[in-house]
Amino acid sequence: MLNFPPTEKLLLCCMRGRFDEEVCRQTVNLLEEKIDWEDFIDQARDHGIAASTYLHFKQLNKGIPEGVKNRLRKMYLWNVTHNLKLWSALEEILRTFNQANIEAIPLKGIFLAEHLHGHIGSRSSSDLDLLVRREDFPRAKNELTKIGYVATRRPYSEEFIGNFLRHQGFSKPESSHNSTYLEIHWNFYVKRPKEFDMSPVWKNATSISINGFRVLTLSASDTLLHLAINLRLHGYLSLRLFGDLYALMARYQEKIDWHYVIRQAEGNGQRVGLYYALYFARELLDAEIPIGVLEQIKPGWFHNKLVCSLLNPEQILHPVRDSSVMIYWDLIKLLTTDRLRDAVKILIQIASSYSGQVAIRYGSSSLSKSGHLDRFLRPFHLAWLVSRMAFQVLKK
């Protein structure tokens, strides 16, 4: 583990799903050092891992201030209640899809909490995520309408959603302050510059039974790819997703086909993105990566220096949490493309989107002239930032 202060080391230690003898020893040793408990709780909450830290501490008999345990316990109990509500909604949706012969695969969230981490309350989840085939999306949307879900009100046309997004959001209002949110995905990655080939994903999916109805699940290899892609899309700023990746490799290492993973990543423009997901999982959590995997997909010297000038463990632990995060995400997506021409395509995509809809997505509140101006200036701003970073790397 990297040389972080004791508070950060303890936080990372609590993200390891297996509370074995070695992790227990490390935790006990860290508790003998000075821990900033307010900072610890703040970081655990902000990263969405307060529930898992509580379960971790629950196995220790001493060393944790009672007030800290009580605060984490309240977060954990709220998370259990919330996740049980989401699980009930998931069952209703899956039963509805089953009756309509729509195959769906649960992604992330409560499904990983139950089937990867082994406890419904171990992982926080804000919404539900389901994968369907693109051709089944219209039928899925229709079935959701029948059980009270409505498409979220976002000013995007159907054409824009199909060409530039990978999912559609839905909500089911239940009270003025309580709704169930759902995202229906049809792909792992956005259509442009290169859409992910989903045919092997569906071919590898396996069927399991949940409370009497059939549901498909991703293979271990495709789960790894999906987590890596989501880390890239979130700028690698999610300790929760790194925890999922660590748990997957710890529990299903023998089921991961690394040749398939690398082949899929290279064939779908996700090689560099996969590298940084695995690299930082190892750096932050000591995840076990098979010998040779990282070397096989590592970007070139200059490319790596460029990415690492923006992305590092400190940035992951203490991420940007204001409006500038959108620019950061854009930069990460640009810098982690496999090829320069893909980065150029992304810049063109931002500049040339019709009806100003990308301007809305990236922070403009209306289709005003300033919104259109922001849309056209953003790619030049990003290109200038990348050029400045490249100059600084070369200067060193």
- Quote the CA–CA distance of 111 and 118 in Å, as a whole number: 10
- Quote the CA–CA distance of 331 and 237 in Å, as a whole number: 13
Query: 256-275, pLDDT tens digit by residue?
Result: 999 999 999 999 999 999 99
Which backbone phi and psi does 183 adopt, to 5 degrees? -120, 125
Question: According to the model, what pLDDT value does residue 133 have?
Answer: 96
DSSP code per residue over 89-141? HHHHHHHHHHHTT--EEEESHHHHHHHTSS-TTSS--SSEEEEE-GGGHHHHH
* Cβ-contact 226, 218 below 8 angstroms: yes
DSSP code per residue over 253-320? GGG--HHHHHHHHHHTT-HHHHHHHHHHHHHHH-----TTHHHHHPPPHHHHHHHHTT--HHHHHS--
Question: According to the model, what pLDDT value does residue 355 have?
Answer: 45
Alpha carbon of residue 228 to chain centroid: 8
pTM above 0.85, yes or no: yes
Query: 24-71, pLDDT tens digit by residue?
Result: 888 889 999 999 999 999 999 999 999 999 998 988 878 899 999 999
* Cβ-contact 316, 283 below 8 angstroms: no
- The amino acid occupying position 327 is I
Average pLDDT, the chain: 87
- Quote the CA–CA distance of 198 and 84 in Å, as a whole number: 30
- Quote the CA–CA distance of 126 and 181 in Å, as a whole number: 8
Question: According to the model, what pLDDT value does residue 239 have?
Answer: 94
Question: According to the model, what pLDDT value does residue 160 have?
Answer: 67
What are the domain boundaries of the chain?
1-64
Q: What is the DSSP letter of 177?
A: T
Pick from 306, 308, 332, 334: which is nearest to 392 by CA? Answer: 306
Residues of the chain scoring pLDDT < 50: 354-355, 363-371, 373
* Cβ-contact 238, 47 below 8 angstroms: yes
- Quote the CA–CA distance of 150 and 324 in Å, as a whole number: 30
Q: What is the spatial order of strands in the sheet that 128-132 belongs to?
A: 104-107, 128-132, 178-185, 167-175, 150-151
Question: According to the model, what pLDDT value does residue 18 have?
Answer: 66
- Quote the CA–CA distance of 245 and 235 in Å, as a whole number: 15
Pick from 97, 117, 263, 80: which is nearest to 182 by CA? Answer: 97
Alpha carbon of residue 322 to chain centroid: 18
- Quote the CA–CA distance of 285 and 194 in Å, as a whole number: 31
- Quote the CA–CA distance of 193 and 345 in Å, as a whole number: 6
Question: According to the model, what pLDDT value does residue 367 have?
Answer: 39
